[in-house]
Amino acid sequence: MKEAVEKLLTEQLQTWEMAKANYDALAKVRVKELDVNGWLYKVQFNPARIISSAAKVDNKSIQERKCFLCPANLPAVQKGIPFGEHYSILVNPFPIFPKHLTIPETEHVDQRIKVRFGDMLQLAKELEEYTIFYNGPKCGASAPDHAHFQAGSKGFLPIEKEWQYKKAGKIATYKRATLWYLNDSVRATLVIESEEKEAANFLFNTIYNALEVKLEEAEPMMNVLTWYERNKWVTCVFPRDKHRPSCYFAEGDKNILLSPASVDLGGVFITPLEKDFEKITATDIANILSEVCINGSNFLRLRQLIKERL
């Protein structure tokens, strides 16, 4: 699989002019680092990501546009390789990572994680150089009507290293898997560390079933990151309370066009507008995370509920 993906990346950047231009531009993006309550966050000024950050994901807008992940609507130059029985691995033409993939379902079905988490784990194992991520339908997914994962170069997100040193406590152990929560006052984070796929799946389903499903929603709001290293899976689950922060809708100087998704929650905030890159502070990031993630009391209640169910 590794060789096939590398070949796909090489060929697409040779034949797809837009993708090549965006990957070339990625090498020149501006990045700054901020300390947010003892956690490292990077802020990336990436103009090409305006398509995702400003995506209209209301039902009317989705119904009026062609699905850009359906095979029939892909650009003629965009090629893919199959994964499993019903996924295709594509090069993402609007990269955040040095290597950035999109892995959509071949059929047009809604973005849902519960029945696909096992597929996510398998992707992480077979694409060991990548971190796999899932954005919920109202948690940063720009195509909530078409099931998909994304994958980005492993080691890019600060949380991949920091989580090990910021454990607040153990919630439970199940077979050869452990569920932790992190010491982070503004970003509620659960971490599943597992040597067994089935045990990771069991703990994820326990989290999923303990989370609230809001009215008119089909699944709990969440973002998920998964990677595989040293013969084990590490999965970060970020329970959400809100799709977009108030600064996204604010006017004037208070406006910051930022729609947090898995990459942001993993420690890299993406700002498609230069004005936002210049002005965003650690306090802004803390406020945004506090607003979109579940609060401390709800996080405590969630952990207690998980313990009761295990």
pLDDT of 57 higher than 80:
no
Looking up tokens 């406020």, which residue turns up? 287
With a pLDDT cut of 90, the percent of the chain lying above it is: 81
Quick one: pLDDT band at residue 141, thresholds 50, 70, 90? confident
Of 23-37, 59-73, 295-309, minimum mean pLDDT range:
59-73
Task: Please return the burial class of 125, using the count of CB atoms within 10 Å of its CB with bins 0-12, 13-18 and 19+.
Answer: middle
Strand partners, 248: none
Output the pLDDT for position 64: 66
CA-wise closest residue to 133 among 143, 145, 148: 148
pLDDT band at 28 (very low <50, low <70, confident <90, very high): confident
**Tokens in use for 217?**
């929603």
Structural domain of residue 37, as residue ranges? 31-67+112-165+188-309
For residue 61, being part of any structural domain is answered with yes
Phi and psi for 233 in degrees, rounded to 5? -95, 145
CA dihedral sign of residues 83, 100, 188, 241: negative
Tens of pLDDT along 113-133? 999 999 999 999 999 999 999
Give 51's pLDDT tier (boundaries 50, 70, 90): low
Mean pLDDT for the stretch of residues 89-108: 95
Of 224 and 61, the one with more pLDDT: 224
Is 150 a member of any domain?
yes
Q: Does residue 54 have a pLDDT over 50?
A: no
Residue 58 is predicted with a pLDDT of 58
Mean pLDDT computed over 99-113: 95
Nearest to 5 by CA among 129, 95, 108, 113: 129
pLDDT tens per residue across span 231-284:
999 999 999 999 999 999 999 889 999 999 999 999 999 998 999 999 999 999
Q: Per the domain annotation, does 305 fall within a domain?
A: yes
Integer Cα distance of 28 and 153 in angstroms: 17
pLDDT of residue 59: 64
User: Contact, 154 vs 130, CB < 8 A?
Assistant: yes
Enumerate residues 6+ apart whose C-beta is below 8 A from 185.
Answer: 37, 296
Residue 175 reports pLDDT greater than 70: yes
The SS3 call for residue 162 is helix
Asked if the structure places residue 9 within a domain, the reply is no
4 in any annotated domain: no
The larger pLDDT score, comparing residue 29 to residue 226, is at 226
Start-to-end CA distance of the chain, whole Å, equals 36
Residues 6+ away with beta carbon under 8 Å from 249: 255
Structurally, how many domains does the chain consist of?
A: 1
pLDDT surpassing 80 at residue 39 = yes
Q: How much is the pLDDT for 52? A: 52
Cα dist. 48→16, 19, 24 in Å? 16, 10, 12
Asked if 233 contacts 194 with a C-beta cutoff of 8 angstroms, the reply is yes
Q: What's the pLDDT at 217?
A: 84
Question: Rounded to whole angstroms, how far apart are CA atoms 272 and 252?
Answer: 17
Q: Residue 17 region, left (φ>0) first, then alpha (ψ -120 to 50), else beta?
A: alpha
In a domain, 87, yes or no: no
Q: Which residue has the tokens 């799709």?
A: 243
The answer to whether 39 touches 290, Cβ cutoff 8 Å, is no
Mean local confidence (pLDDT), 288-304 = 95
Q: Is residue 177 a contact partner of residue 184, using CB atoms and an 8 Å limit? A: no
Q: Length of the chain in residues, anyone?
A: 310
Domain assignment present for 10: no
What's the chain's average pLDDT? 92
Most distant pair of Cα atoms in the chain: their distance:
54
If phi > 0 it is left, if psi is from -120 to 50 it is alpha, else beta; for residue 280 that is beta
Residue 187 near residue 239, CB atoms below 8 Å: no
68, 220, 240, 287, 307 from 211: Cα distances, Å: 30, 6, 10, 23, 13
CATH number, position 229: 3.30.428.70
Select the more confidently predicted residue: 55 or 196.
196
Instruction: Classify residue 38: in a domain, yes or no.
Output: yes
